[in-house]
Amino acid sequence: MGKALLKRAGLLVGTLLLVSVLAFAAFSVIPGDPTTSVLGAEATREEIAAFRAQHGLDLPVWQRYWSWLAAFVTGDFGRSFKFDMSVSELVATRAQVTLVMAALSFALIVAISLPLGLISARRRGGVVDRLVTVLTQVTMSVPNFIMGIGLMFLFALVLKWFRPEYVPLEDGLGAHLRFMVFPALAVALPKSAMTVKLLRGSILGELGQDYIRTAYSKGNSQSSALRRHVLRNAMIPVVTFLAMAVGDIMAGSIVVEQVFTIPGLGRLLITEIGNRDYPVVQAIVVLLAAVVVGCNFLADLLYRVMDPRIDGK
Amino acid sequence: MVFARQQNSSMPKKPGSWYLTIGTVLTALMLLYIAVGFFWTPYVPSAMSAADREAKPSLRHLFGCDSMGRDVFSRTLEGAGSTLSIALAVLAAGAVCGLAVGALCGYYGGPVDALVMRLCDAIAAFPSVLLALVVLAVTGPGKYNVIGALGVLFVPSFARLVRGEFLKYRDRDFVRSARLMGVSGLRIIFVHILPNTWPVLLSGLTIGFNNAVLAEASMSYLGVGVTPTEPSLGYMLKDAQGYLFTLPWCAIFPAAVVILLILGVGLVGEGVRERIGVAS
């Protein structure tokens, strides 16, 4: 275990470095200088020179990358081109919103998909199972921004369960969550459908195994065989899938934040892409990618803990 | 005990055939719909008509009109065609490059393979919507930029898929005997191994197609995809959101087109996977 772990950790660091190089390189090779788009076309030569010196744009690329990376790991993401603010400040307040939404989506996925997957596998071929199978297949095909628009239409405009205006955390946690549940649902529903399907297939696969026949022959009822023997094994791919899903949840938030006009990381990302404010865009991209890489690493770890056989390979 | 026996007795009816049938029919209908749009639209999609502004769906305007009096039916026809062509172009670019990279890496292996796979891992670390956003932030909006950006994104996943298949086959007896007979590496790759991988490739292609449709619609919705003058279902949805309550048909029909397109192709992929017995 130790050696494999060390190797994976090495890979993690390597991937993160590569991600940072890619993110940095992408914004360093852009045709056109960010100075013209930030300062405007009528900026004087002195202003441009001062701006370039202030943001270190006059240094060679590798030097810029190195100082950016060295500052980045200490939590200093540089200064925004557009706002007179440090990127860390700008990002921190927005990240909180996105994190709440992502956490809520994750909780919803687990809460929706586990019971549904279990029921539909237990009553295989039954009415509930057929209904769930059709519903998951359809839900999987709905892009999350369309799901968001649909939820908005149904719950905000027709049923009037919530007002389609963002409620910040300062207005109270309850009110904040009551609003955030709908965008979180938009992200969670398509992902839940995939999870239900995976869990159902995984349970059915385990039920066909010899050890389950043995469990029945030892006098286990269906539910005790499920509880004691099947679930533990059937959950392995599901847990891995859920850990990997965090990246998609984050990406989904970017789009769904636009639907519900939530001032999170995604909205900041989109507006600053428009403003060509690259330090902000770079920081958000690397942070999100780091979360994804971290979660993939976690998925790998969990997999090894839950299924020790993998170490033999 | 009862449960275990039921398993076997209820097995013969495979749902795979249904997935494939429904999926094929649905996809064919959508393709027909889009094909019609390439040649004929009832109105000029960008033509505004003051008299028909905010018209409800009727026989005159099947899907109604938007706030500027543009015919929604014509616009979905044109938008779906544009979405389809972009998705197919992305798929072609991603699949061809991914196939070449994956086949060479999987067949020859070695340090180059390890390096390329690390690079693929790094690219795959970005959620695809995020990466597409970054590339489009750099290149700016436009149809061809979207194709390029998404095409690049699709290479790693195809490369990995193809590589896995080639790893599976490269030490099989039929490949070894071909090698013994002096068949060249490229010929082994394309003539001996590639035909064996097509079911997996097909299933990968359906997933890729759906991701391409999804990504294109999302990018346009976010306003970084195709330029606003180009027809696009994503843009239609973005516009429609402002009139969601008063003109719901402006959102419902483009949304339905996207969903049905993804659903149909997804079902085909599902059916193929069930047929060949690959877990999805």
- How far is A154 from chain B, CA to nearest CA, in Å? 10
pLDDT tens digit sequence for B146-201: 888 888 888 888 898 899 888 888 888 898 899 899 888 888 888 888 888 888 88
> A164 and A151 in contact (C-beta within 8 Å)?
no
Q: Of all residues in chain B, what percent carry a pLDDT higher than 90?
A: 13
Which band of pLDDT confidence, cut at 50, 70 and 90, is reported for residue B263?
very high
Residues 61-80 of B with CB under 8 A from A: none
ipTM: 0.81
Residue in B with minimal Cα distance to A250: B127
For the record, the structure tokens of B42 come out as 């009832």
Q: Which residue has the higher pLDDT, A303 or B95?
A: B95
**Pairwise CB contact (< 8 Å): A255 & B126:** no
User: Can you tell me the distance from the alpha carbon of B263 to that of B11, in angstroms, rounded to the nearest whole number?
Assistant: 25
Separation CA A112–CA A192 (nearest Å): 7
- When comparing pLDDT for B206 and A60, which is higher? B206
Q: The tokens of B279 are what?
A: 């877990």
The confidence score (pLDDT) of residue B278 equals 58
Chain B residues 228-257 with a CB less than 8 Å from chain A: 237, 240-241, 244-245, 248, 251, 255
Predicted confidence at residue B17, as pLDDT, reads: 67
* Residue for token pair 């549940």: A181
- Provide the pLDDT for residue A103: 92
The residue in chain B having the minimum alpha-carbon distance to the alpha carbon of residue A12 is B122
pLDDT score of A274: 78
Neighbours of A297 (CB within 10 A): 18
User: What's the confidence (pLDDT) of residue B2?
Assistant: 39
Q: Which of A141, A198, A211, A222 to mutate to test the interface with B (most CBs of B within 10 A)?
A: A141
Q: Which one, of A251, A129, A130, lies nearest residue A190 by Cα?
A: A251
CA distance A284 to A278: 10
B84 CA to chain A: closest CA distance, Å?
Answer: 16
Question: In this model, does residue B228 exceed pLDDT 90?
Answer: no
Among B115, B244, B278, which would you mutate to test the A interface (most chain A Cβ atoms within 10 Å of its Cβ)? Answer: B244
Q: Is B114 helix (H, G, I), strand (E, B) or coil?
A: helix
Structure tokens at A203: 């349970």
Say yes or no: B123 contacts chain A, CB-CB below 8 A: yes
The 3-state secondary structure of chain A reads CHHHHHHHHHHHHHHHHHHHHHHHHHHHCCCCCHHHHHHCCCCCHHHHHHHHHHCCCCCCHHHHHHHHHHHHHCCCCCECCCCCCEHHHHHHHHHHHHHHHHHHHHHHHHHHHHHHHHHHHHCCCCHHHHHHHHHHHHHHCCCHHHHHHHHHHHHHHHCCCCCCCCCCHHHCHHHHHHHHHHHHHHHHHHHHHHHHHHHHHHHHHHHCCHHHHHHHHCCCCHHHHHHHHHHHHHHHHHHHHHHHHHHHHHHHHHHHHHHCCCCCHHHHHHHHHHHCCHHHHHHHHHHHHHHHHHHHHHHHHHHHHHCHHHHHC
Q: Inter-chain contact B127–A201, Cβ cutoff 8 Å? A: no
Cut 0.95: pTM above it? no
Supply the pLDDT for residue A38: 67
The answer to whether the CB atoms of A143 and B119 lie below 8 A apart is no
User: Is B193 at the interface with chain A, CB within 8 A?
Assistant: no
Q: CB A217 to CB B255 under 8 A?
A: no
Q: Which residue of B has its CA nearest to A206?
A: B4
Contact A141 B210 (CB under 8 A): yes
Tell me the β-bridge partners of B71: B65
Segment holding B210, helix H or strand E:
helix B198-222
Could you write out the DSSP letters of every residue in B130-146? HHHHHHHHHH-SSHHHH
Return the pLDDT at A35. Answer: 66
Q: Give percent of chain B with pLDDT exceeding 70.
A: 92
Report mean pLDDT in 10-residue bins for chain A, 313 residues: 79 83 76 63 74 72 81 81 82 89 94 91 86 89 90 87 82 86 93 91 86 86 82 85 85 88 89 82 86 84 78 48
In 10 A of CB A304, how many CB atoms? 16
At B27, the pLDDT band (50, 70, 90 cuts) reads very high
Q: Which of A285, A292, A293 is nearest residue B134 as measured by Cβ atoms?
A: A285
φ, ψ of residue B198 to 5 degrees: the values are -60, -35
pLDDT of B275 strictly over 90:
no
Q: CB A273 to CB B133 under 8 A? A: yes
Chains A & B: contacts with CB separation below 8 Å: 135
User: Average per-residue pLDDT in chain B?
Assistant: 82
Residues of chain B contacting residue A14, judged by C-beta atoms under 8 Å apart: 118
Sequential DSSP letters for B132-193 = HHHHHHHH-SSHHHHHHHHHHHHHHHHHHHHHHHHHHHTTSHHHHHHHHTT--HHHIIIIII
Q: Report the length, in residues, of chain B.
A: 280
The whole-angstrom separation of Cα A64 and Cα A56 is 7
Judge: B130–A251 Cβ closer than 8 Å, yes or no. Answer: yes
Span between the terminal Cα atoms of chain B, in Å: 28
Bridge partners of A86, per DSSP, are: A79
Q: Is the pLDDT of residue B234 over 90?
A: no
Q: How high is the pLDDT of residue A147?
A: 92
Q: Tell me, what's the pLDDT at B7?
A: 41
B3 touches chain A (CB under 8 A): yes
- Mean pLDDT, to the nearest integer, of B212-236? 84
What is the C-alpha to C-alpha distance for residues B63 and B74, in angstroms, rounded to an integer? 9
User: Measured between CB atoms, does A294 come within 8 Å of chain B?
Assistant: no
